[in-house]
Amino acid sequence: MDQNNEWIKTNFKELRRKYPGKYIAVSGGRVIASGGTAKEVLKKVENEDIKKIRFTHVPETKAVFYRCKSC
């Protein structure tokens, strides 16, 4: 797992508190951009090295839903 993924995992509760329902860009162990859409976040970091950034969506709730293929 890369540094940014590990940081997201470690700080997920705080991220969910600060950025519920938002898209975020993480680099170097910090959120460098956030927004309501992925396109908005990409626009904010367009001058950064994309290879060093982890993009993710922060869910609003704790619930995670899975769909069973055979259901």
**Chain segment 8-24, per-residue pLDDT in tens:** 999 999 999 999 999 99
Look at residue 9 and tell me if it is in a domain: yes
Look at residue 30 and tell me if it is in a domain: yes
Look at residue 71 and tell me if it is in a domain: no
Task: Answer for the pair 38, 23: CB distance below 8 angstroms, yes or no.
Answer: yes
Look at residue 70 and tell me if it is in a domain: no
* Degrees to nearest 5, angle at CA 26 with 55 and 38: 35
Q: What is the pLDDT of residue 22?
A: 97
How many other C-beta atoms are found inside a 10 Å radius of the C-beta of residue 41? 23
If one counts the domains in the chain, the total is 1
Look at residue 50 and tell me if it is in a domain: yes
Confidence bin at 39 (pLDDT 50/70/90): very high
3-class SS at 17? helix
11: containing domain: 3-57
| Rounded Cα–Cα distance for residues 68 and 46 (Å) | 37
Look at residue 66 and tell me if it is in a domain: no
Look at residue 16 and tell me if it is in a domain: yes
Region 26-30: mean pLDDT is 95
Look at residue 67 and tell me if it is in a domain: no
Q: What is the pLDDT of residue 2?
A: 87
